[in-house]
Structure 1
């Protein structure tokens, strides 16, 4: 089991280095040991490519990768090691303890709804939360990192998500740029720097490796082929930025491992477990939060330690918070309510899934959110484009 290294070795610490290097106020989070703020501050421009799903262990398996030539070392993700939590850290510079986003599916006590965070929809009814309550976007608002920097901030990402409720809430005053494909991604980032009249910070998110891994698995030819395309795109961008005094950084939100059908715990197939639950299972397939019916605690624990023995480890929210899983800093006022009554951290490559009305059956091969090395370790790559 690997837990986040919030003392200087996590993606949170990378964001602390970037924010301080670009003039933001100090917030008490240590800088990244691999890349202190003063090194970032030397560059006129900073570009951060966030390649969803590019784990450290996967990257170093390619000895000849161009990305590997510029590898500084490894960072840890946050917990859970998953996109919704990590991208909120990239957007705010905060730990999960501070920003309060705890999973893809999250119970929001203030709305009394289980929400799917990034699309910002009610998980059960599929309603868009902002349509139900126009003021509900407040539950996602955090101080956007982009608004604190002494630099012009830009967000680059696929066009279909560039103006999502989530990105509007966390992007602040940053300019948003939607792209259509990988070539457009490279061209857009390069163009922003090449045409810059003042200092630039560009955060560029690319999700395709992760989506292919979910569908086909990390060992698939589809993932291998796209990794090769990403490797070439990185080198193309590095050359395009030559002479611009840009620090080109690459990291990821998490890595992935492959699961199998016999490793999927379907809640519907365990009626005695389902009977203890007051709400749909929240969190991630590899780290789930369970909300219990009144008086069901003994039955829940008996089932977890009995029929589910070997499938998962069980923790209370206080154990996660006090154990440092979610990081340091002032806790979000709703944090404990977003961690359920108990958290199930799945072992090996096992997952838990609860199919709701309208959901597809669980067909993912590549998964993340847990504490394995492949999920938790991500690379830090740096190329000085002097």
Structure 2
């Protein structure tokens, strides 16, 4: 690790250009939230989990809990929520996401209550070094061919090796995921033996939640995952009209659920990460024929804002020199 780059990153933290996940005056993290939700579901907290205990008490334990995870619904959307809607009127608690603050890392943290360096799912494109393969990890496929990882001899229990806290809430958890992913390798790992209700639309999801909590009086944790805002934001950008329409639809659906629950359950709505607009001037591009690719054992993986490089043995200095010469003004290279 180059000390100059470490010093730059530390300066970015001090100057507020980067937000540290937990040090200093950082608010509670998604790690704390995951442990708080699990504790409401009966999983014991350690004596060190003071922030998680405080969150659990603020959420409440006296009724069933509907925990809604709106993928990508970060603080940037606070000012964009519809006035008078459920999101705009809800009591807010600021949380700090994990690093990298992206779907794969953060959703696995919410499942496990562990940091990405512990649970081992750091990015959407995760390189599995033991298998020398880069996976699109949540869909559980090889990145380029999109073949299932099982075809390469990789079991879900190997890729998702850290125990799921949600799965340990036996008899006290029900999940609601889009039908296309309701029985995926990841969602199965997340919930374990807990039942799941797949849905085909927001209206369908709302009806399932209301039926379970109101009509069937089902206790415990009800975990509703909504990917619509994140999908629209990745496609169009966080401030695009399509993203705002997705946000409005989610807000209306949650408002309808709240009205029909009529106090029978507590509702906690959170995100796994937020969204920021990145201008063209702030982007750097690797092309397949870029000469710096020759220094790598495998193409770059990780996330666009946190690329990761497996450098060929003995070529570390050459790669670092080229990288810093071309991008060192704006990027820090840590090894």
Q: Distance in 2 between matches of 1:151 and 1:129?
A: 30
Which piece of structure 1 moves more, 229-238 or 126-135? 126-135
Q: Is the alpha carbon distance of 1:28 and 1:272 closer, same or farther for their aligned partners in structure 2, counting shifts above 3 Å?
A: farther
Which residue is 1:382 aligned to? Answer: none
Which residue is 2:5 aligned to? Answer: none
Structure 1 residue 93 and structure 2 residue 104: aligned? no
Which residue is 1:56 aligned to? Answer: 75
Cα deviation, residue 228, structure 1: 1.4
Q: Is the alpha carbon distance of 1:31 and 1:83 closer, same or farther for their aligned partners in structure 2, counting shifts above 3 Å?
A: farther
CA contact (8 A) 2:66 2:222 kept: yes
- Write out the 4+ residue segments of structure 1 that deviate beyond 6 Å after TM superposition: none
Of the three residues 304, 309, 312, the one matched with 2:328 is 309
Gap runs ≥5 in structure 1: 317-386
Which piece of structure 1 moves more, 20-29 or 7-16? 20-29
- Structure with bigger strand share is 1
CA contact (8 A) 1:159 1:178 kept: yes
Q: Is the alpha carbon distance of 1:92 and 1:195 closer, same or farther for their aligned partners in structure 2, counting shifts above 3 Å?
A: farther
SS of residue paired to 1:98: helix
Structure 1 residue 285 and structure 2 residue 291: aligned? no
Q: Report the TM-score when normalising by structure 2.
A: 0.86
Cα deviation, residue 141, structure 1: 3.6
Structure 1 residue 300 and structure 2 residue 323: aligned? no
Which residue is 1:240 aligned to? Answer: 260
Cα RMSD of the aligned pairs, angstroms, is 2.3
Q: Report the TM-score when normalising by structure 1.
A: 0.75
Larger relative contact order, structure 1 or 2 (CA cutoff 8 Å, min sep 6): 1
SS of residue paired to 1:118: coil
Which residue is 2:249 aligned to? Answer: 229
CA contact (8 A) 1:8 1:31 kept: no
Of the three residues 12, 20, 24, the one matched with 1:3 is 20
Which residue is 2:126 aligned to? Answer: 106
CA contact (8 A) 1:8 1:30 kept: no
Gap runs ≥5 in structure 2: 1-17
Q: Is the alpha carbon distance of 1:34 and 1:258 closer, same or farther for their aligned partners in structure 2, counting shifts above 3 Å?
A: farther
Q: Is the alpha carbon distance of 1:107 and 1:150 closer, same or farther for their aligned partners in structure 2, counting shifts above 3 Å?
A: closer
Cα deviation, residue 61, structure 1: 4.1
Cα deviation 1:328-375 (Å, max 9, x = unaligned): xxxxxxxxxxxxxxxxxxxxxxxxxxxxxxxxxxxxxxxxxxxxxxxx
SS of residue paired to 1:178: coil
Cα deviation, residue 131, structure 1: 2.9
Q: Is the alpha carbon distance of 1:75 and 1:145 closer, same or farther for their aligned partners in structure 2, counting shifts above 3 Å?
A: same
CA contact (8 A) 2:172 2:220 kept: yes
For this pair of structures, how many residues does the alignment match? 315
Structure 1 residue 179 and structure 2 residue 196: aligned? no
Cα deviation 1:115-137 (Å, max 9, x = unaligned): 11011111233221123326454
Cα deviation, residue 142, structure 1: 3.0
CA contact (8 A) 2:136 2:142 kept: yes
Which piece of structure 1 moves more, 98-107 or 18-27? 18-27
CA contact (8 A) 1:14 1:31 kept: no
Cα deviation, residue 224, structure 1: 1.4
